Chain A
Amino acid sequence: MSKLSNLFGKISEINSRYREPRIEMSGAVRKTLLVLRVYLLALVALMIYKFVAIVTQG
């Protein structure tokens, strides 16, 4: 149990350490990251669709 709480503690520490991105968030960087998010969301949606299709088809 203590090991698990240690792990969560470590994750919180990592999250706080890297809370702020160090790269300067210029307009181009922001747009690139936005496109990347949209791309990944579309890809994940497609994978879920495919997974559901496989499961429903048996």
Chain B
Amino acid sequence: MIIRPSATACRKGGTARVWNKDKEMNFFARLYYPLRKAWKAVGLYLVIAGPGIVVMVADNDAGGITTYAATGAKYGYHLIWFLLILIPVAYYVQEMTVRLGAVTKRGHAEAIFDGFGAFWGWFSLIDLLIVDWLTLVTEFVGMTAALAIFGVPPWITVVAVIMLMAVIVLNGRYWTFEKLALLFCALNLVYIPGAFLVHPSVRDILHQGLIPNFAGGFNGQLFFFLMANIGTTIAPWMLFFQQSAVVDKGMLEKDIPWGRFDTLLGSIVTVVVAVFIVIVTGTVLPGIDIDSAAQAATELMKTDRYVGTFLAIGLFDAGLLGAICISLASSWAFGEIFGWAHSLNTKIRQAPWFYTTYFLMLITSGLIVLIPNAPLVLITLFVQVIAVTLLPAALVFLILLLNDRTTMGERRNTLTQNLIGGFIVASIIVLSTLYGFSVLFPNLFK
């Protein structure tokens, strides 16, 4: 029973028992409001959350998983510190798309057309279409290879994936798409228990992984791996996807702080997943040359069936998530420019061209994988090269648009943001260009 102090008792000081009780009540009362506030904040975040996490986790696509698996197998834990540096790199670039989308209510393609005219607009749109289509082919390569480990024929994988993606997208609500995508993002965390199963040495991870070092000295091959890791962290479609997703979700300027948090959380999750992949292959497959994540999964199966299974499931999930986001990035971009209805909140009858573009991209890229002797290795290599033609342009446009006082007003880049963003963008351009060169001329850095 709670004894409340009377007014007289309060004035006179009351009994010790009454005051203690009162103090306890005050303590809980004081705790209640911050907790309720925090709970409301979590609730609000869950409403706003989505574009940042989805785009970042989808960035760990089939190509990304292959790069991280190969990095771990080649250099063990020695490049974990470098992956951690990529958290602010990914955050600063993608954060700009949140602000641009929330303020202008336009996707990145439309922003480029409007800001820089038709020439640069068409260049970006057509380049995006080519890069996205080629990347989609690589996602299907990853997904079919992952399920082939379990004996699933490629045609069944392709048909099942297209049907699954139709179910995800055709429900007529952005919210449902986003929450389903977040579910697949959660599945991407499968690498974390996988890493615990291989019992890595925590001491080695801390000593070798967290102190910046270049194992075996700085040479061409190491440089190639560093460039590949950067190349998989920032992809052109990510800029287009997140900005369009921010617009489709209906985020407002007041939601920007939550959008930033969402992006930061996403960039941390994506790098953490990458680190755990490196730990898995660094522990079990040290010194082995890995050409694909499917090869890594097969190798891991020989050592530990469960870890190999986790890697294969993760590879399939990564390809699926990447495919969902990449095909949407193109459909949104075309919808913005051609003036078609282009929202996931519309039904197929309301936005036929939007969904036609989406499925056309998906089906044609899936069919390529089923063609016997299709030049899949060549396509995989060319993705990196074509991406290099779009990424610098998209990043430069992003910085210029973020400095447009007329459109961005108070949300335009500050001097600090320009210095940090400019440095990151310049570094990405130089390194991704060199990476593109190294793909064209494999002996360049050897």
Contact = CB atoms under 8 A, between A and B. Distances in A.
Interface of A: 10, 14-15, 18-24, 29, 32-33, 36, 39-40, 43-44, 46-47, 50
B167 to A, nearest CB: 29
B396 A23 contact: no
B118 A14 contact: yes
A36 B124 CA distance: 12
Contact of B117 (A10, A20, A24): A20
Counting chain B CB atoms within 10 Å of each CB, the highest count among A18, A46, A47 belongs to A18
Nearest to A42: B433
Contacts of A20: 117
B389 A18 contact: no
B155 interface: no
A27 to B, nearest CB: 13
B115 A43 contact: no
B117 A18 contact: yes
Given A10-B338, A18-B113, A47-B440, A36 B118 contact: no
6 contacts: A14-B338, A20-B117, A23-B115, A24-B406, A43-B433, A46-B437
B404 A23 contact: yes
A3 to B, nearest CB: 12
Nearest to B407: A22
A14 B339 CA distance: 9
B300 interface: no
Contacts of B440: 46-47, 50
A32 B418 CA distance: 15
Contact of A18 (B118, B385, B388, B393): B118
A47 B392 CA distance: 16
Contacts of B64: none
Contacts of B118: 14-15, 18-19
Contact of B385 (A23, A33, A39, A47): A47
Contact of B389 (A32, A43, A50): A43
A18 B114 CA distance: 6
A14 B401 contact: no
A21 B401 CA distance: 12
Interface string B89-121: 000000000000000000000000111111011
Contact of B396 (A10, A15, A36, A46): A36
Nearest to A44: B389
B333 to A, nearest CB: 13
B301 interface: no
A10 B340 CA distance: 11
A49 B376 CA distance: 21
B400 interface: yes
A39 B392 contact: yes
A33 to B, nearest CB: 7
A4 B388 CA distance: 32
Interface string B110-151: 000111111011010000000000000000000000000000
A21 B116 CA distance: 4
A21 B115 contact: yes
Given A14-B338, A47-B440, A50-B440, A40 B115 contact: no
